[in-house]
A = this chain, B = another copy of it.
Amino acid sequence: MLDCKKALQAANGDFDKAVEYLREKGLAAAAKRSARAANDGIIGIYVHHGSRVAAMVELNCETDFVARTQEFQDLAHDLAMQVTATRPQYLSRKDVPPEVIEAEKQIYRAQMADQNKPEHILERITEGKMTKFYEETCLLEQPFIKDDDLIIEDLINNAIAKIGENIVLRRFVRYEIGK
Give the residue of B60, B177, B178 whose beta carbon is less than 8 angstroms from that of A177: B60
Give the residue of B36, B73, B76, B175 whose beta carbon is less than 8 angstroms from that of A173: B175
What sequence of 0s and 1s flags, for each residue 34-51 of chain A, a beta carbon within 8 Å of any chain B beta carbon? Answer: 011011111111010011
CB contacts (< 8 Å) of A52 on chain B: these are 41-43
A17 within 8 A of B: no
Interface contact B43-A53, CB-CB below 8 Å: yes
Interface contact A51-B43, CB-CB below 8 Å: yes
CB contacts (< 8 Å) of A35 on chain B: these are 178
Sample (20) of A-B pairs whose CB atoms are under 8 Å apart? A35-B178, A38-B178, A40-B177, A43-B54, A43-B175, A43-B176, A44-B51, A45-B45, A45-B47, A45-B51, A45-B54, A45-B56, A51-B67, A51-B73, A54-B56, A56-B56, A56-B173, A56-B175, A60-B177, A60-B178
